Chains A and B, each alone.
Chain A
Amino acid sequence: AQKITQTQPGMFVQEKEAVTLDCTYDTSDQSYGLFWYKQPSSGEMIFLIYQGSYDEQNATEGRYSLNFQKARKSANLVISASQLGDSAMYFCAMSPYSGTYKYIFGTGTRLKVLA
């Protein structure tokens, strides 16, 4: 069965510092996609970054980068130069390539950026 594990229920980071949010996954699929979403208090899920299982290079999107270690089955999110607006819940998710977009989400990490 597919599973996403986020072991950090909450994290604090000082403004302008970098922070790493952990994500490990379990799947028997050979092909899959890994995603990170941000959920502010408004409730909307905001897409941040995507990594394909066959991508050799780590994905980057502005201040977000995904540290993908396939052998360890980890897909950690790195946020550089944290901003106060980064305070939110962050969810790691996985989806197989075939079939429908049955995203499997982790339980999330609540990030608080301190001024």
Chain B
Amino acid sequence: GAGVSQSPRYKVAKRGQDVALRCDPISGHVSLFWYQQALGQGPEFLTYFQNEAQLDKSGLPSDRFFAERPEGSVSTLKIQRTQQEDSAVYLCASSPLAGGLNTGELFFGEGSRLTVL
């Protein structure tokens, strides 16, 4: 597609359920990022992939959060045993650049809004 695509756009989960959020980056983009945006806040970094390699996962809030990008394109963010504090918009972004000098923009998807009841 022309832009970054995320699915589902909206997800309601009961506390304790596992969820999986998908990101389709722009074709050929090397870098892929996941951000978490709580209500009324700015996005917070979760993790970064360069192709299939997860180079930085320092922002993942707990071991319940797991991300993968096995073939260097589509990525999935998985949250196990969801908690109410996991309620947020999860943004995916991609870039044609790979590390180093960051003068370029990130291309964001519209996000997946997760509500945990």
19 chain-A/chain-B pairs, Cβ below 8 angstroms: A35-B105, A43-B91, A44-B110, A45-B108, A96-B102, A97-B101, A97-B102, A100-B48, A100-B99, A101-B102, A101-B106, A102-B58, A103-B35, A103-B45, A103-B106, A105-B42, A106-B42, A107-B41, A108-B42
The complex places the Cα of A22 from the Cα of B109 at a distance, in Å, of 26
Q: A43-B111, A100-B48, A103-B33 are in contact. List 18 more A-B contacts (CB 8 A).
A: A37-B108, A43-B110, A45-B106, A46-B108, A47-B106, A47-B107, A50-B103, A50-B105, A91-B43, A97-B102, A100-B31, A101-B31, A101-B33, A101-B106, A102-B59, A106-B42, A107-B40, A108-B41
Q: Which residues of B contact A (CB under 8 A)?
A: 31, 33, 35, 40-45, 48, 50, 55-56, 58-59, 89, 91, 93, 95, 99-111, 113
Contact among A4, A52, A99, A100 for B103, CB-based, below 8 A: A52
Q: Collect the chain B residues with CB atoms within 8 Å of residue A101's CB.
A: 31, 33, 48, 95, 99, 102, 106
Contacts of B110 in A (CB 8 A): 42-44
Q: Report how far A45 CA is from B45 CA in the complex, Å.
A: 14
Query: How far, in whole Å, are A108 and B89 apart by their CA atoms in the complex?
Result: 15
CB distance from B53 to the nearest CB of A (A): 11
A91 contacts B42, C-beta separation under 8 Å? yes
Q: Given A47-B105, A52-B103, A100 and B56 touching (CB < 8 A)? A: yes
Q: Which residues of B contact A106 (CB under 8 A)?
A: 42
A77 to chain B, nearest CB (A): 14
A105 near B43 with CB under 8 A, answer yes
Find chain B residues with CB under 8 A from A96 CB: 102
Q: How far is the CB of A43 from chain B (nearest CB, A)?
A: 5
Q: Cβ of A105 and Cβ of B44 under 8 Å apart?
A: yes
